[in-house]
Structure 1
């Protein structure tokens, strides 16, 4: 039916054109943003999940940074203990050499002094960002070291951060100590503590050198008046100290490996979350490009149809008025 007041055909064509324009604009927006679900209005459920997962991914990025710091701290300590192990082996070798007849013990003692100084330097220098696991200077150093290990979200939605702990204090005055040097009380250090001589029952309380503020024990020095029995005791004590350094080095090395594995896992988990979010909310650009071209063609045809309808309508009434 043709009405003088209402062009029904044109209204229908205009409505189709509006719908096509809306779909075209949505498709263009998806191509420009790269997202199929960019706002909650696109898909509230997917948008909510994706937003939470993105937040978790940012938290994992912070965990990765913390693991990088932890790795540096642990690796610094591990390298220090490894270097100390080599020096202690050389120290023990010089003590064995001092047992040989005719050797210049004063010269050997000079070498031992150099090794002691180097061991002290290693303990003092094995620090990263203020963290030193080899050198005790305060009771604060006895606290357990807690390193960020992982992060997860529980089914309740609560966030949990898991720590990797390292007990560094040990028991002062025994062989169960972890610091290399204790300049606070002496007995919490492997090289400065009396526990190794006590455990071996030596005639004197041998230490490699004394801590700055600890008791004065019998420091390992040799000279022409040093007896072979005393050197034998020194060798035994140094050997026990070296075994403890090796044990501590193994523990720190295992901790380093754990941090390395956790870092690798966190990176893989970040990739998985990123991929999962992408599958949920990313637009398929090939599909959107094809859809956009089809809608663009449909829009042009709609405009042509609307133009033809309006032209026909005008021509009809011009004919009626003639």
Structure 2
């Protein structure tokens, strides 16, 4: 039936063309943004997951920076500790040379020891990075605060975020502690080198009257300090290695999260470009079909011509 009031063909063609235009707009949007899920309305679940993962990746970027800063702090302390060990070994050599030496020679050796002790303090005081110094502290209470380095940002199955840290126990590393004298080099040691009444490595002094027995006691103190410093250097080296491993892992994790986000929201440009060409053809055909459908109404006029 032909009707001038209702053009069913035109209505069908218009609906088809509208659907094609909508799909075309969607495809063009994906091509221009590179995302198939750019807004929550595109896919609420995927958008929510991707948004959370992007936020976590920003947090991981901050963790990466914190690890870099922490690595610099530990590396500074590690360098200072190694130089201090070398210097204390020099003091050990001087004490060995002092054994059996004349009084005059002991005084000369003492001058060298005093210079080396000053160098030890300089190394400890200079091992500062970004306001943190693990070798020379001034807690005054005898217990130095740990250095905490942010190492990870995680989220459990319930969505609860958690921050992990790599802790460096400064109490086991400090060489000097102003006000408490409980560092490896400034705490008093007995004749066997154990902590107790006696003298500190940093206070060792020789005079012309110093006996070989006293020199031997000083040597025991130096040996004990060297052992503790070697352990401290090992702890710092282990922390440095752990930080480096965590930095590598964090970088890989960030890349993995980026890939995961891409799997959820990125558009397949090959597929979208092919779809764009197909939709453009459909759009042209739809316009042509609508034109034909509208032309059918004009043909009814020919029925009334004489």
Q: Considering the TM-score relative to the shorter chain, is it more than 0.5? A: yes
Distance in 2, Cα, partners of 1:30 & 1:151? 32
**What's the CA shift for 1:104?**
3.5
**1:190 equivalent among 172, 179, 184:** 184
Aligned twin of 1:147? 149
**What's the CA shift for 1:131?**
1.1
Higher relative contact order (CA 8 A, sep 6+): 2
**1:260 equivalent among 244, 259, 262:** 244
Single out whichever of 233-242 and 90-99 deviates more from structure 2: 90-99
**What's the CA shift for 1:22?**
0.6
Aligned twin of 1:220? 204
Q: Which structure 1 residue ranges, 4+ long, deviate > 4 Å from structure 2?
A: 100-103, 201-204
Shift of the 101–138 alpha-carbon distance from structure 1 to 2, 3 Å rule, reads closer
Aligned twin of 1:46? 46
Shift of the 200–320 alpha-carbon distance from structure 1 to 2, 3 Å rule, reads same
Single out whichever of 47-56 and 16-25 deviates more from structure 2: 47-56
**What's the CA shift for 1:101?**
4.5
**What's the CA shift for 1:145?**
2.6
**Aligned 1:15-26 pairs, distance under 5 A:** 15-26=15-26
Task: State the Cα deviation string for residues 216-239 of structure 1 (Å, max 9, x = none).
Answer: xxx212243222222222122111
Aligned twin of 2:170? 168
**1:206 equivalent among 191, 199, 202:** 199
Aligned twin of 2:64? 64
Aligned twin of 1:215? none
Distance in 1, Cα, partners of 2:17 & 2:193? 96
Distance in 1, Cα, partners of 2:195 & 2:58? 58
**1:294 equivalent among 266, 275, 278:** 278
**Aligned 1:7-18 pairs, distance under 5 A:** 7-18=7-18
Single out whichever of 36-45 and 158-167 deviates more from structure 2: 158-167
SS at match of 1:161: strand
Gaps of 5+ in 1: 170-176, 210-218
Single out whichever of 285-294 and 70-79 deviates more from structure 2: 70-79
Contact residue 80 and residue 123 of structure 1 kept, 8 A: yes
Contact residue 14 and residue 306 of structure 1 kept, 8 A: yes
Gaps of 5+ in 2: none
Shift of the 220–246 alpha-carbon distance from structure 1 to 2, 3 Å rule, reads same
